[in-house]
Amino acid sequence: MTTNGNGGLYGIVAEFEDADSLLVAARQTREAGYKSVRAFTPYHVEGLADLLEKRINMLPYLIPAALFFGAFMGYILQSYTSVFTYQLNVGGRPPDSWPAFMLITFEIAILTAAFVAFFLMFAQNGLPQPYHPIFNAPNIETASHSRFFLCIEVTDQQFDLENTTAFLQGLEPVAVSEVQI
């Protein structure tokens, strides 16, 4: 796979010892104009997400839509069943007695929204992802417990192998290395 004429290169990764160094580096990377930047940290670093590339989050829009769709379909299912396919006269109520349908309507709405949230979260996070090119970076296993990594991807418009490597080395990391696909 060839990307931007750099062969099988995924990006350049810089390794930092602490979260503060990573935040300073991420801020300088953003100010330098790099957009396709990812960070790998052992825990949540406050303010880091604001410095990295913004991704579109569809969950706040699709979950309420799924909730209303589930409620609508739950009510229609019960109403259709009671009015057209299996009419029962219980206590003299009309066939389409909406108060009796509210509990199931609510439950179907919540269930639909929960399933949509679960599957959308997996889709937006790119899961399951058993392999990612960043796994080829040296010492990346330490990102799960003690080190912080900042990667500028080849897909960035400003990416140039020599200039990007020199830029990352200027941020004073522990190490800078290329990540192959």
pLDDT tens track for 82-117? 889 988 887 888 888 888 899 999 999 999 999 999
Peptide bond into 128 cis (omega under 30): yes
Average predicted confidence (pLDDT) for the chain: 91
Count structural domains, the chain: 2
Provide the domain limits for residue 75: 59-124
What pLDDT, on the 0 to 100 scale, is given for residue 88?
Answer: 82
Task: Say if residue 106 is in the same domain as residue 151.
Answer: no
pLDDT value of position 2? 40
Per-residue pLDDT band for 47 (boundaries 50, 70, 90) equals very high
> Would you state the pLDDT for residue 57?
86
Looking at the structure, tell me whether residues 67 and 103 fall in a common domain. Answer: yes
End-to-end CA, the chain:
8
The predicted model gives 149-153 an average pLDDT of 96
pTM of the model: 0.74
Would 119 be classed as within a structural domain? yes
> What pLDDT was estimated at residue 95?
83
Contact in structure between 23 and 47 (CB atoms under 8 Å): yes
10 vs 124: CA distance, rounded Å: 20
* Least confident range of 85-89, 161-165, 167-171, 173-177: 85-89
Q: Which residues of 8-40 are buried (b: 16+ CB within 10 A; e: fewer)?
A: ebbbbbbbbeebebbbebbebbeeeebbbbebb
**36, 76: one domain:** no
The residue count of the chain comes to 181
Say if 85 falls within a structural domain.
yes
